[in-house]
């Protein structure tokens, strides 16, 4: 098999499974639907590992060719083309392996759902869309994949379309992403207009240095750097897809979708698209310190302030969702300090342990009969030992425990920020350091409330109604005779398989990915202007040495402090959080209402748009168009007709008199000037 055929098979295998399950699921049945979709993703995963091995061993060569040209206009080719290098190979493995685990997990999680075949079709289509995005070698295909993951996320977040909350959530995600995608499309438009008339990555990167001093005028009389404006507009798209402040508001509400899609969106698809795009565009971003500082500030705000929101959540899935927001902020911070390889390294490690945490949360929800409220849990360790252990490993990876995968990527981000000389790096350093404590606190707050302490589900099922609102329309919460139970093997097997890379992948991959040649000639950094990676390489000696040194650093002690404080607050002295909540009630309300951003957006944009629409409807449509032009012209004709109708008497003498008067008037007009002279 030649390389083009291999890459086509990687991309199209999930699409084939999606089409079969989606169009013929009613005929082939539930079992065949999941078999064909899992088989398609498994084929992609196996071949993706083969591609990655080729780049790791030095046997593979970069593939950059068009596959199909469907339109040529004005000398610009709109084509499907693949760019497969080490960055693509890494993303292929992350997307397909996590997606495969989610597919297997879905068999157990969705087995009672009437939309079983439809769900498998959607998640396979999601995988195909993300593969097309990461394999693209031009902006047109990138935009196709960009919009395709947005469309499928809309379908999956609103999968239970009979629930108003799901419809609200998927519409919110769709509209917020339209805002980001509008900026992204404008950025692509600038590329098309100024970068040599080509949309191919390599042609654009080659043309960029000649445009370093090029300016454009967005506001008359004010010059803006073309490169800076292009980079900022492209990053606006990343802010939407990767849920960066202030376009992050859609991501927590995406929890209305089934848990498997929450894991897929938050770990391997969609939200990673923006991070990947900026890393791929590193030759452009390296030419604009303004854009890098902007990215750094946005990432810092997201990393810190979204972490604060995780502290007050009671829904187990929403805690993990805000964790995703915070970790995406960390990745964006790494992009801002030109540590692109560190950003994609954290993207990779995060994909595994975040998928593990989401699927672990889903397993807990299954064991609790679809009650998601952590206040109704506790003591689940002895009932769900596999879920408990894998969730513990995922939590340890998330908070950056030395030698776990998250440690190597998160600490590398912190070190990169501290080594940066950009003006915004001071605030960023503060944000990522404080974020370590915050992450550890909310992560182990969730862990202790769910798996340890008093069995509060006993009180919940005999007292108030359960607060669950996740996945199914049947009864939420444990019944009078129910106990939590471990999930079936199709759920626990993906947890075990994801726990392995969550522990070891960072240790194995840090040296080749950050300090080796893995991303050589793929990610470009101007080391003279941004020497961050050179300084990190000077300090790095080995993965083991980095892990041992961590025990003497501030991030480790902050993370440990977060765990200890969470244990003390929720296991030993639960009255303290209640007292803090009461004492700082305004702050608590601010956090519980998510900084009131939803209300602000509704008041300014939703109500503002409706008010503007009402104005144009009443003034423009009803008054001017209907009232004046349409109905007004009709009324004018009617009034004129009523006057002229009175002249139509039907008598000859009336018409004769009118004619005589008309002739006399013409004669008078004709001879009047002569008489006056």
Question: Closest Cα to residue 268, out of 153, 180, 174, 436?
Answer: 153
Residue 475 has a pLDDT of: 44
Distance CA 60, CA 56 (A): 8
Distance CA 123, CA 149 (A): 10
Residue-wise pLDDT tens digits, 371-430: 888 888 888 898 899 999 999 999 999 999 999 999 999 999 999 999 999 999 999 999
Distance CA 398, CA 361 (A): 14
Cβ(173)–Cβ(153) under 8 Å? yes
Distance CA 342, CA 313 (A): 29
DSSP 479-541: -TT----PPPHHHHHHHHHHHHHHHHHHHHHHIIIIISSTTTTTS---TTT--HHHHHHHH--
Phi, psi at residue 511, to the nearest 5°?
-70, -50
| pLDDT at residue 87 is higher than 90 | yes
Distance CA 85, CA 233 (A): 26
Token pair in block for residue 135: 């394999």
Distance CA 286, CA 342 (A): 15
Token pair in block for residue 450: 């769910």
Residue 499 has a pLDDT of: 94
Question: Closest Cα to residue 476, out of 383, 373, 384, 357?
Answer: 373
Element at 68 (helix H, strand E):
strand 63-73
**How many residues would you count in the chain?**
677
Could you tell me whether strands 76-84 and 215-216 are parallel, antiparallel, or unpaired per DSSP bridges?
Answer: unpaired
The mean-pLDDT minimum among 31-40, 505-514, 634-643 falls in: 634-643
Residue-wise pLDDT tens digits, 180-230: 999 999 999 999 988 877 889 999 999 999 888 888 888 888 888 999 999
Residue 299 has a pLDDT of: 94
Question: Closest Cα to residue 444, out of 565, 270, 345, 607?
Answer: 565
Whole-model pTM: value is: 0.87
Percentage of the chain beyond pLDDT 70 is: 95
Mean pLDDT of 41-60: 92
| pLDDT at residue 471 is higher than 50 | no
Residue 473 has a pLDDT of: 43
| pLDDT at residue 466 is higher than 60 | no
Residue 217 has a pLDDT of: 82
Cβ(407)–Cβ(515) under 8 Å? no
Percentage of the chain beyond pLDDT 90 is: 51
Mean pLDDT of 283-295: 93
Beta bridge partners of 81: 66
Distance CA 594, CA 233 (A): 26
Average pLDDT of the chain is 88
Mean pLDDT of 569-576: 90
The 10 Å CB-count burial string (b at 16+, else e) for 510-538 is: bbebbbeebbeebbbbeeeebbbbeebee
The mean-pLDDT minimum among 83-92, 129-138, 288-297, 596-605 falls in: 596-605
State the pLDDT confidence band at 343, using cuts at 50, 70 and 90.
Answer: very high
- Other Cβ atoms within 10 Å of 306 Cβ, number: 28
**Cβ neighbours of residue 565 closer than 8 Å, sequence gap 6 or more:** 441
Q: Where are the domains of the chain?
A: 3-459+484-572, 599-676
Residue-wise pLDDT tens digits, 522-546: 999 988 888 999 999 998 889 999 9
Distance CA 311, CA 441 (A): 7
Residue 399 has a pLDDT of: 93
| pLDDT at residue 672 is higher than 80 | no
Residue 8 has a pLDDT of: 92
Residue-wise pLDDT tens digits, 349-371: 999 999 999 999 999 998 888 88
Distance CA 54, CA 58 (A): 6
Question: Tokens 């079983």 map to which residue?
Answer: 116
Distance CA 249, CA 263 (A): 18
DSSP state of 269: S
Residue-wise pLDDT tens digits, 479-527: 656 678 888 888 899 999 999 999 999 999 999 999 988 998 899 998 8
State the pLDDT confidence band at 259, using cuts at 50, 70 and 90.
Answer: confident
In 101-256, DSSP assigns E strands to 215-216, 224-225
Mean pLDDT of 4-9: 91
Distance CA 573, CA 159 (A): 41
Distance CA 645, CA 663 (A): 22
Distance CA 207, CA 278 (A): 18
| pLDDT at residue 463 is higher than 70 | no
**Cβ neighbours of residue 573 closer than 8 Å, sequence gap 6 or more:** none
Cβ(275)–Cβ(343) under 8 Å? yes
Distance CA 551, CA 557 (A): 8
Cβ(451)–Cβ(575) under 8 Å? no
Cβ(245)–Cβ(302) under 8 Å? yes
Residue 367 has a pLDDT of: 86
> Within 13 Å, how many C-alpha atoms sit on residue 196's CB side?
14
Beta bridge partners of 64: 83
């Amino acid at each position: 098999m030649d390389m083009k055929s291999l890459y086509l098979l990687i991309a199209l295998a999930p699409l084939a499974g999606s089409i079969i399950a989606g169009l013929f699921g009613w005929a082939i049945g539930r079992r065949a639907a999941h078999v064909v979709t899992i088989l398609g993703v498994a084929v992609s995963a196996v071949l993706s590992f083969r591609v990655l091995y080729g780049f790791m061993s030095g046997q593979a060569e970069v593939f950059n060719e068009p596959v199909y040209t469907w339109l040529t206009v004005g000398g610009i080719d709109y084509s499907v083309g693949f760019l497969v290098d080490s960055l693509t190979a890494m993303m292929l493995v992350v997307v397909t392996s996590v997606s495969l685990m989610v597919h297997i997990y879905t068999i157990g999680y969705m087995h009672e759902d009437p939309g079983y075949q439809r769900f498998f079709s959607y998640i396979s289509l999601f995988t195909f869309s993300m593969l097309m995005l990461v394999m693209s070698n031009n902006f047109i295909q990138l935009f196709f994949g960009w919009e395709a993951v947005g469309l499928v996320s809309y379908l999956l977040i609103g999968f239970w379309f009979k629930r108003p909350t799901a419809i609200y959530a998927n519409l919110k995600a769709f509209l917020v992403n339209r805002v980001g995608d509008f900026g992204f499309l404008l950025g692509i438009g600038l590329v098309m207009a100024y970068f040599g008339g080509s949309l191919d990555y390599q042609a654009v990167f080659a043309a960029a240095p000649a445009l370093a001093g090029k300016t454009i005028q967005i506001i008359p009389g004010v010059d803006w750097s073309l490169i800076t404006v292009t980079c900022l507009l492209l990053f606006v798209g990343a802010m939407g897809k990767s849920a960066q402040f202030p376009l992050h508001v859609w991501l927590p509400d995406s929890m209305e979708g089934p848990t498997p899609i929450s894991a897929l969106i938050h770990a391997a698809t969609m939200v990673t698209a923006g991070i990947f795009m900026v890393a791929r565009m590193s030759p452009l971003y390296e030419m604009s310190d303004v854009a890098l500082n902007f990215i750094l500030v946005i990432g810092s705000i997201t990393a810190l302030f979204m972490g604060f929101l995780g502290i007050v959540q009671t829904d187990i899935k929403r805690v993990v969702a805000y964790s995703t927001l915070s970790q995406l902020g960390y990745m964006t911070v790494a992009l801002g300090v030109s540590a692109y390889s560190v950003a994609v390294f954290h993207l990779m490690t995060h994909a595994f342990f975040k998928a593990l945490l989401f699927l672990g949360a889903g397993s807990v929800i299954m064991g609790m009969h679809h009650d998601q409220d952590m206040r109704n849990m506790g003591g689940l360790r002895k009932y769900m030992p596999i879920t408990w252990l894998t969730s513990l490993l995922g939590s340890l990876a998330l908070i950056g425990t030395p030698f776990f995968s998250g440690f190597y990527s998160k600490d590398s981000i912190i070190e990169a920020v501290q080594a940066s000389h950009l003006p915004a790096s001071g605030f960023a350093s503060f944000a990522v350091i404080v974020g370590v404590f915050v992450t550890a606190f909310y992560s182990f707050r969730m862990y202790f409330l769910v798996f340890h302490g008093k069995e509060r589900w006993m009180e919940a099922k005999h007292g108030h109604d359960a607060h669950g609102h996740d996945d199914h329309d049947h009864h939420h919460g444990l019944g009078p005779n129910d106990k939590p139970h471990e999930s079936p093997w199709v759920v626990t097997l993906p947890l075990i398989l994801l726990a392995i890379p969550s522990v070891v992948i960072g240790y194995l991959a840090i040296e080749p990915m950050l300090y080796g040649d893995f991303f050589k000639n793929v990610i470009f950094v101007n080391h003279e202007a941004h020497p961050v990676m050179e300084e990190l390489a000077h300090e790095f000696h080995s993965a083991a040495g980095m892990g041992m040194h961590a025990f003497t650093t501030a991030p480790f002690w902050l993370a440990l402090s977060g765990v200890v404080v969470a244990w003390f607050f929720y296991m030993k002295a639960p009255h303290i959080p209640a007292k803090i909540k009461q004492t700082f009630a305004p702050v608590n309300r601010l956090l519980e209402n998510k900084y009131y951003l939803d209300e602000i957006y509704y008041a300014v944009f939703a109500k503002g748009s409706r008010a503007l629409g009402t104005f144009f409807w009443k003034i423009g449509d009803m008054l001017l168009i209907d009232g004046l032009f349409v109905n007004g012209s009709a009324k004018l004709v009617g009034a004129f007709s009523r006057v002229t109708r009175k002249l139509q008497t039907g008598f000859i003498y009336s018409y004769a008199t009118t004619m005589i008067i008309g002739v006399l008037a013409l004669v008078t007009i004709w001879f009047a000037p002569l008489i006056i002279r």
